[in-house]
Chains A and B, each alone.
Chain A
Amino acid sequence: MRLLVSLFVLTACAAQAQLLKIPPALDKLADKAEEVTDVTLDPATLGLASKFLSDNDADEKTAKKVVSGLKGIFIRSYRFTNEGEYSDADVEPLRAQLRNPGWNCIVNVRSKKNKENTQVCFYSENGKSAGMAIVSAEPKELTIVSIAGPIDPEHLGALEGQFGIPKVSPDAKQTKQDKKDD
């Protein structure tokens, strides 16, 4: 009986660490993809990783801040050789989950011309941030990011300028306008 209860609790914890359920159709995409990035970090692994993050490295220091309090990180990224290796129907069950109560998609960018569809959604429980998801569908690349746990938008902003990602310059827009005028 105790074993059953423990298994149930462990399963519940693992489930809570992963906000989005990956549809079976997406699992099959791994066979077609040229490159697959598959990262699953449950609470125990996140805790273990945090122990080894150093305050002396800028990237790792930022990572420590972002990760504190998180319950899980799940990433699947598929890169294909050709267009059309996956369809909207493959991704739709995932997008349907983002329409469930608690989810609020603050960014929904769709381009028919470029055949791109990107959503950035936040999940909240009892008025508190409890997760985030990014679903980015491009002709040759599909990326799903699911983060369970309280997300601080300030910490997300800190991801820019770290991990090899250039910081967005406030002068970029100005520069573009100047070029247009020329």
Chain B
Amino acid sequence: MNRFEDELRNALQRERPPEGFAARVLARAAAEPKPAGAWDRLKDWFRMPVVARAALAGALCLLVVAGVQYQQRQRLERIRGEAAKQQLLLALRVTGSNLRAVHDKVRELSASYSDAQ
């Protein structure tokens, strides 16, 4: 048991670090790459190959154009729909008024017929 205790004591004893240890650790920490900031990311963008940049820009343009075209189409459909609605309401007005006129004529005739009798 004593021998074991001695060995344990020796193993846990404080030891001085070798010379230059702290300097080596600090140098290694300084050498590790830092996380990229916004400015670094922007600089990276300009380092991308031209083709990749052009493709990305082109895709963005297409999206904008598609969005504008979709809005225009919706607007045109709304205009056409409103115009069609007004035509429909006009058609129903004309139909209704003609039916009403026929109805009046039939009532007039039947009234004059029953008067004659």
User: Interface residue count for B (Cβ, 8 Å)?
Assistant: 31
Digitize B85-108: 1 where CB-to-A-CB distance is under 8 Å, 0 elsewhere.
101111111111111111111110
Our count of residue pairs bridging A and B at CB distance below 8 angstroms stands at 107
Bound together, the chains give a CA A66 to CA B96 distance in angstroms of: 11
Bound together, the chains give a CA A39 to CA B83 distance in angstroms of: 12
- Closest beta carbon of chain A to B42's beta carbon, Å: 48
A155-172 contacts to B (CB < 8 Å): 156, 159-160, 162-166, 168, 172
Asked if A159 meets B99 with Cβ closer than 8 Å, knowing A109-B105, A118-B105, the reply is yes
- Closest beta carbon of chain B to A161's beta carbon, Å: 9
Q: Let me know if A109 and B106 touch, CB within 8 A.
A: yes
Neighbouring A residues of B93 by C-beta, 8 Å? 163-165
User: B-side interface residues toward A, CB under 8 Å?
Assistant: 77-78, 80-82, 84-85, 87-107, 109, 111, 115
Supply 27 A–B pairs (Cβ within 8 Å), ascending by A.
A39-B94, A41-B84, A45-B87, A46-B88, A48-B84, A49-B87, A49-B88, A52-B78, A52-B82, A59-B89, A73-B91, A109-B102, A116-B105, A118-B101, A134-B99, A143-B98, A147-B95, A159-B96, A162-B92, A163-B92, A163-B97, A164-B93, A168-B103, A168-B104, A173-B111, A176-B111, A180-B115
